[in-house]
Structure 1
Amino acid sequence: MTTPALRPAASAALLGFLLCGVAPAAVAQTAAVTGRGVDAAAEAGEADTNAGATVGEVTVTARRREETVQSVPLAVSVVSGDKVDATGAFNVGRLQQLTPTLQYYSSNPRNTAVNIRGLGVPFGLTSDGFEQGVGFYIDDVYNARVATATFDFLDVSRIEVLRGPQGTLYGKNTTAGAVNITTNQPTFDFEAKAEVSVGSLAFKQAKAAISGPLTDTIAARLAISTTTRRGAIYNVTSRQHVNAQDNLGVRGQILYKPSDDLAVTFAADYSRQDAECCAQIFVRTGATQRPLNRQYAALAAAQGYTVVSTNPFDRLTDVDANLNAGNKIGGASARVVWSVGPGTLTSITAWRFWDWKPENDRDFLGLSIVSKSQNPSQQDQYSQELRYNYGTERYDLVVGAFAFKQRIDTQGTEQQGPASSRWNIAPSNVLSNDPTVLDGLVAKNTQYLKNISFALFGQLSWKVTEDFTIQPGVRLNYDKKEGYYQRLVFDGQGVPVLLGQTGARRAAQLAVFTPQLSEPSFDDWNFSYDLTASYRIAPDILGYATYAKSFKSGGINQNGLPTDAAGNPILAAGAIKPEDVDHFEAGLKTQFWDRRATLNLSAFRTDIKDYQATVTNGQLGVLRGYLANAGKVRSQGFEFDFQVRPNERFTAYANGAYTDATYRKFVDAPCPPELSGGTTVAAGQTPSAPGTPGGLSPANCDISGQRLPGVSKWAFSFGAEANVPATFLGAEGEAYLGYDGSYRSNFSSNPSPSIYTWVDGYSLSNFRAGFRTPDGLNLYAWVRNAFDEDYFELLAVGPSNTGLIAGQPGDPRTWGVTLRTAF
């Protein structure tokens, strides 16, 4: 495999070009927002356009008063809705190319992770029983499932990516940061916009929105979006392209404003995905410590199997199980903003639902080892938030309360196929030649989660002097989780398979699926706080420092528990401790060259005790993964955000992050595949060298000092846009050329770093060129991944520790045309 890297001639030259300031349109604008930020004025994006020959004094009202982003002591990357459209960043997966501190990984909508600075959720298969470390908000409403992040953005005004703990002004506590999406709101002036895109891979996307008054006091807005695209991977078994896109989204809002003191907004939305997805494909094999005849090459040869291609960038697969990523998300909310007495009362009442109906091929191969892997889920969540804001010349106070209730029900089916016996039973066992032993063996899982949370929070901003401000915040939080998990196992004839049953056939079946019943629970109170001090060093220079004592709620293992030697669940593993977080940050926000340039710097260190880590089990079907507490984790580094606009015809930006995220203490971690699969060492024995067939494997591994999964040490985004006056088909406007690039260094794609699952660093380059007019007409052509880089979004260890490594290739070069108009 060729290591993707920055194109020396193109990307390096462009980066130098940008840093010298001889280029154009900042895609990601750096702002600073304290607190929710969701009430910030929609003119954030407009200010950038209308700022003349300066970078722009973007105004936000995050602390319930208007102030420029450069005066608020917390860094956050802000992308306006126009930039989202212009760069094709229509979901969080593409947004990460513009915001270096954001990491996004998704093998399917349910198994999606959104992290900031390497922190948030454990990397790997998702469990319902733990909290997100990165809050995901849309119009003030908390979304408990990261699956929301897989949908197309719909009628977005702006997106904020806040870094660090966000608990003392947020409804739901978040320890790593928040992704805050603000949509365009109903207007009392008529407006409408529409957009159509077509491109390679049969890409078709259409968006439309209309807004205006219904009466003098009522306004409404309706937005719709649809996206379809052929998959980039071809399945030779089904003769279909897989990993396609088939998305539909609609949102309606009604604003009732009887006076200047009261505004009530009712909103409802619905999004649907219905694509043949998601396949991970053969990447490579690596030696494990299993006996040689139980590793991939021997097992495949024993069944006369040859994978369709050993080059993952041929983008071919032969998986034989059904694939589906049926995903539906929606809900309704009511938001009331009421001027009461000297302050403002805000109430947000919301209900959200999530229905997930998947079908997967968990063996990643054209052999019918796993014939079914289906775990449909249904979620309902209810939330209520109240906030009161009060401000004077020297003080700004926000106090609030938050209540949250969630229920998730899951019904799972995991079934073995006719190739399972030879794959999973040792060749020395005569039963390995009898396909009926495991063919049809099925585990039926029933589980539910009940989750409630309550919180009181507040933050005070005290202007001690004209230049010096201190800002303390506090939060009191209660969480309770109750779970239920039952696995019933049946053989191919429908006869129950039970613990304690004897016989060679039953022993072979119980080694694959073990019946289990558990009812884990957790509840706890937590108190957290933070303190920020800021000082105006000069009119355009602000320094700040923050300390936050935060936490992430404890959780439960909702997908089953590890078992003892007799096959019984280890009940002590049912609950996991809360994460205990100490966060330090300091930053400097500057503007210079008559405010034509902005440079913001931040340095951070986050220490976490009892980090919630994913632990994987090497045996197929026994337990795919569960949560456990690692000892200590640390993420530290620095970030910069730079913009320059020497005149109205040129804009350039460069953002970067260095993140050193490591396990500081994790002495009993699961071992990587090269150290797994052999006979467990006994007292006085020494483990074999990595990848020794039939060797001795350690019971667990000390991975202290090694890097956390999913985070690159270096990540950059950079771009430019230039425009010139032009006339096209009789219309006056401007022609423009834009470039947006990103780079990230290598990262580990396994909870315990493995020599087989490092994803090489890669760079992506996107170009666009077009013509636009002041009244909203915009016609442009675009190309993404212009240099057709081969790269992986993630790698995964195949089941049974046979040495199989599967992966998800990133998109190849795509191109298309977009026409946008506004009325």
Structure 2
Amino acid sequence: MNLKHSACAIAVISALNVLTSAQAIAQTPESDVQIQQAGELETIEVTARRTTESLQEVPIAVTSVSADDLQNIGAQVITEIQQFSPNTTLQTSRGTNSTLTAFIRGVGQQDPLWGYEPGVGIYIDDVYIARPQGAVLDILDVQRIEVLRGPQGTLYGKNTIGGAVKYVTKEMSGDAEFNARATLGSFSQRDIAITGQIPLIADKLFLGGGFADLNRDGYGEYLQSALPDQDLENYNKDLWVARLNLEYRPTEDLFFRLGWDKTNDSSNAKGGFRLLPSLLTDAPVPDNVFDSYTSLPTFNRVELEGWNWLVRYFVNDDLELKYIGSDREGYSPTNIDFDNTALDIFDVPAEYRDNNTTHELQANYSSDSFSLVSGLYYYDGESCGNFNAILGFLGRAAFGTPGLTREVAGCNNSESYAVYGQASFNITEDLSMTLGARYTDEEKTAIVNNGLVFFNLYPSTGWVPGFVRPEGQLVPTVLGSDSDGDGVLDSPKSDSWTRFTPRVGLEYFVDDDTMLFASYSQGFKSGTFNPRAEQNEPGVNPEIVDSFELGMKRDWNSQLRTNITLFAYDHKDRQYIAVGGAGDGTTLDQSLQNAAETAGEGIEAEITFVATDNLTFDVALGYVDFEIKENNIIPPLIGLSNTPEYTANIAASYVMDTDMGYFIFNANYYYRDEYLLFETNDLLKQDGYGLMNVSVNWESNAGNWYANLTAKNLTDEEYLVGGYDFVGAPDANGNFTPGLGGDTTLIGYYGDPRTIHLTVGYRF
């Protein structure tokens, strides 16, 4: 039997890709599974510590979901992995299909604006994805997805204080392969995906690639639009992604890979659902949570393109050398109607641009009693953008002007160097120790232009019909010096930080099937500058997370596996908007400061029980408790963002071998306890809810034809994944008063409704 899951994918849908013969495995070109005895647990390999190891011997909390698992449950985007990993939130953000909101154990980053750094690192083949725009990756030619929970500051560096998500693609087999699949589903879903590879020089040089075109009608529509000739679909999908890889193996010990990828998401901008009636328009609260109104264009785009390269050399059986590099860039013009009415009450057209280059040299040594992962790392990134907060209705009503816009534009650029090493060595035959450390030196420079103009200003000419952007339109400079007053900076603001992040661990093997581990680790999120600064304010220091873990990984027999982790952490120097101007306490102006300290503790349990040769049960449980230790935020911190106190997933998988082929039936129920969308108020609060999903996967006896029928969110639950709140305090009658823009703007964005889709594929 073949089960290819993971600590949590195992703990959630074990036996997902169970096959019952070695012949069937050999006939499945894309299979990543290993030969297993029927009715027994599988052996799972991960690269959580930057080298290949058995999951049961890795002393951290890891979930690894294989390609076969993903296919069998009908997973289509990386956000679906949150169901299989305890205490994990991976959700599509507010305005687009491609922007990621990621939290692990309550640690992450809510605001995707340039300048703010993520708290959960996203990696494709060990290449760091620096921005959340485009990080909702569609699943194409993937080998597995790993979720590493807790700070990963030693081996993965900055911005992994909550953890890391690794998207691992497949190395080529060397044979000619082809895989094509088509999907039809709810809301006129129509997807095609093609992957394949071909040897250019037998056993030496291989070319592979993939292309997917993904389309779906909207879950709702824009009921009103202030502009003519707009596409009025809301929550639709119109995206394509392409990848190419060239691999060269001149000898058994030497490997080269050059890769290219591009994503183009031209789905409409998402409109939010008004949770309160507008005071300024007569449009009612829509009946459908996926319906909206807008005064902005509905176009939106996320463009990403990147190159990556890898050189790997096995000097001998014990020593491996690697060079990993990348060059990536992204561009995202977007329209966010905060108030979601046909009036220009609070509209934000924006553009985001970023590019970054990384280089990493790595030396890995492994012997029976000692292993070492070490390296040098360089990152150079530029993240820029501009947004126009258009308050046109307010400008006309209050000032009698043609409109009103606060324009903010700037860049927040980073250059960093790091050296790291992590060693594991035996103290006795059963007891080992892990010692690791990383030293990072980072410098950031920032420019912010922030000011008011008394008309409606858009990022470029033609953004809305008839608009011509005035030439040389500049707003006052905030960060940096402008000695001659021409609006052009002489020099940007800059600051630098260094950080030493250690890891210490002990691992004790009670027997061949039981490992106990304890560890301390530290991670940091980069220092930065306020991308919305209204004055010349200093940068803020990095956020620091100190984490302690106790865990047990045990296979009780060939049928039962339990992986359990207890954790506790302190989260210091949290970056928030706080009062006090530039930090001197003499004004009420807002500025970005290290204004809070919090702590958390909890437990994660992942259980797999192979009941029979055909039936497997999986359970994944998570619990997080939260404490506020310092709270200088205005408004004050009241809880965790996007983090339920409890998460649970219960799944069953049944395999049936017939004359028609192999059938795998899956069902799972995923529960998320209540949670806040924002940490500073409970205006947007999601009650606890559960999602029921079922699927059936079929594969022909020859292994070339396959199909999947999946139904998700069977009970059609409505649940919040994002929002905006701009309302004033309640009046004497308990009714909300107007907020920014002069209206009661309380907006919700929702997760996917009930969907059903059928995929049919052929491969050789």
**TM-score under structure 2 length normalisation:** 0.85
Q: Is the 8 A contact 1:267 1:333 kept in 2?
A: yes
**SS at 2:79 equivalent:** helix
Q: CA deviation at 1:782?
A: 1.8
In the other structure, the counterpart of 1:117 is: 105
Q: Is the 8 A contact 1:137 1:143 kept in 2?
A: yes
Code of the aligned partner of 2:686: V
**SS at 2:611 equivalent:** strand
* Cα distance in 2, alignment partners of residues 455 and 320 from structure 1: 47
Q: CA deviation at 1:642?
A: 0.8
In the other structure, the counterpart of 1:716 is: 648
* Cα distance in 1, alignment partners of residues 43 and 679 from structure 2: 43
Is the helix fraction higher in 1 or 2? 1
Residues 475-494 of structure 1 show CA distances to partners (whole Å, capped at 9, x for unaligned) of 11111110001134332399
Structure 1 pair 205/51, CA: closer, same or farther in 2 (3 Å)? farther
Stretch of structure 1 that moved more, 779-788 or 632-641: 779-788
Of 684, 693, 715, the match for 1:757 = 684
Code of the aligned partner of 1:375: A
**SS at 2:241 equivalent:** strand
In the other structure, the counterpart of 2:483 is: none
Of 214, 220, 226, the match for 2:213 = 226
Structure 2 residue 595 is matched with structure 1 residue 630: yes
Of 576, 588, 605, the match for 2:568 = 605
Residues 531-583 of structure 1 show CA distances to partners (whole Å, capped at 9, x for unaligned) of 1100011221110000113322211112323xxxxxxx2x33x4112123211
Q: Is the 8 A contact 1:187 1:221 kept in 2?
A: no
Structure 1 pair 28/443, CA: closer, same or farther in 2 (3 Å)? farther
* Cα distance in 2, alignment partners of residues 420 and 742 from structure 1: 47
Code of the aligned partner of 1:226: D
In the other structure, the counterpart of 1:95 is: 81
* Cα distance in 1, alignment partners of residues 578 and 72 from structure 2: 40
State the aligned residue count.
Answer: 689
Equivalences for 1:154-233 in 2 at 5 Å? Answer: 154-170=140-156, 172=158, 174-216=160-202, 217-233=204-220
Structure 1 pair 419/48, CA: closer, same or farther in 2 (3 Å)? farther
* Cα distance in 2, alignment partners of residues 820 and 493 from structure 1: 50
Code of the aligned partner of 1:558: P
* Cα distance in 2, alignment partners of residues 393 and 535 from structure 1: 16
Of 447, 454, 468, the match for 2:431 = 468
In the other structure, the counterpart of 1:293 is: none
Of 615, 625, 629, the match for 1:650 = 615
> Considering only aligned residues, what root-mean-square deviation do their CA atoms show, in Å?
2.9
Code of the aligned partner of 1:132: P
Structure 2 residue 272 is matched with structure 1 residue 307: no
Equivalences for 1:704-783 in 2 at 5 Å? Answer: 706-727=638-659, 732-754=660-682, 756-774=683-701, 775-783=703-711
**SS at 2:303 equivalent:** strand
Structure 1 pair 175/44, CA: closer, same or farther in 2 (3 Å)? farther
Stretch of structure 1 that moved more, 56-65 or 756-765: 56-65
Q: Is the 8 A contact 1:389 1:396 kept in 2?
A: yes
In the other structure, the counterpart of 1:698 is: none
Stretch of structure 1 that moved more, 137-146 or 320-329: 320-329
Structure 2 residue 284 is matched with structure 1 residue 343: no
Code of the aligned partner of 2:404: L
Q: Is the 8 A contact 2:11 2:619 kept in 1?
A: no
Q: CA deviation at 1:631?
A: 2.8
* Cα distance in 2, alignment partners of residues 717 and 477 from structure 1: 38
Equivalences for 1:78-89 in 2 at 5 Å? Answer: 78-89=64-75
**SS at 1:150 equivalent:** coil
Equivalences for 1:21-100 in 2 at 5 Å? Answer: 25-26=14-15, 46-47=32-33, 50-60=36-46, 67-100=53-86
**SS at 2:300 equivalent:** strand
**SS at 2:276 equivalent:** strand
**SS at 2:133 equivalent:** helix
Q: CA deviation at 1:90?
A: 2.1
In the other structure, the counterpart of 1:506 is: none
Structure 1 pair 365/66, CA: closer, same or farther in 2 (3 Å)? closer
Q: CA deviation at 1:442?
A: 3.2
**SS at 2:502 equivalent:** strand
Of 398, 413, 434, the match for 1:450 = 413
Of 616, 621, 626, the match for 1:661 = 626
Stretch of structure 1 that moved more, 793-802 or 358-367: 793-802
* Cα distance in 1, alignment partners of residues 680 and 515 from structure 2: 41
Q: Is the 8 A contact 1:43 1:59 kept in 2?
A: no
In the other structure, the counterpart of 2:515 is: 542
Q: Is the 8 A contact 1:639 1:655 kept in 2?
A: yes
In the other structure, the counterpart of 1:677 is: none
Of 115, 120, 127, the match for 1:141 = 127
* Cα distance in 2, alignment partners of residues 493 and 227 from structure 1: 35
In the other structure, the counterpart of 1:379 is: 354
**SS at 2:201 equivalent:** coil
**SS at 1:97 equivalent:** helix
* Cα distance in 1, alignment partners of residues 408 and 376 from structure 2: 37
Q: CA deviation at 1:418?
A: 4.3
* Cα distance in 2, alignment partners of residues 182 and 665 from structure 1: 39
In the other structure, the counterpart of 1:670 is: 634
In the other structure, the counterpart of 1:284 is: 276
Structure 1 pair 360/64, CA: closer, same or farther in 2 (3 Å)? closer
Structure 2 residue 303 is matched with structure 1 residue 328: yes
Structure 1 pair 66/130, CA: closer, same or farther in 2 (3 Å)? closer
* Cα distance in 2, alignment partners of residues 583 and 80 from structure 1: 28
**TM-score under structure 1 length normalisation:** 0.79
* Cα distance in 2, alignment partners of residues 542 and 44 from structure 1: 32
**SS at 2:108 equivalent:** coil
In the other structure, the counterpart of 2:760 is: 819
Residues 219-271 of structure 1 show CA distances to partners (whole Å, capped at 9, x for unaligned) of 11111112111111211124722121111111100111100111010000001
Q: CA deviation at 1:66?
A: 5.7
* Cα distance in 1, alignment partners of residues 17 and 624 from structure 2: 19
Equivalences for 1:307-706 in 2 at 5 Å? Answer: 307-309=283-285, 311=287, 313=289, 315-340=290-315, 343-370=319-346, 372-418=347-393, 421-422=396-397, 425=398, 436-437=400-401, 439-492=402-455, 515-519=476-480, 520-561=493-534, 569=535, 571-572=536-537, 574-592=538-556, 594-613=557-576, 627-666=592-631, 668-671=632-635, 701=636, 703=637, 706=638
Q: CA deviation at 1:276?
A: 1.0
Q: CA deviation at 1:804?
A: 3.1
Code of the aligned partner of 2:143: S
**SS at 1:556 equivalent:** coil
* Cα distance in 2, alignment partners of residues 537 and 634 from structure 1: 31
Residues 757-802 of structure 1 show CA distances to partners (whole Å, capped at 9, x for unaligned) of 2111111111112432241422232211111112222332036255
Q: CA deviation at 1:585?
A: 0.4
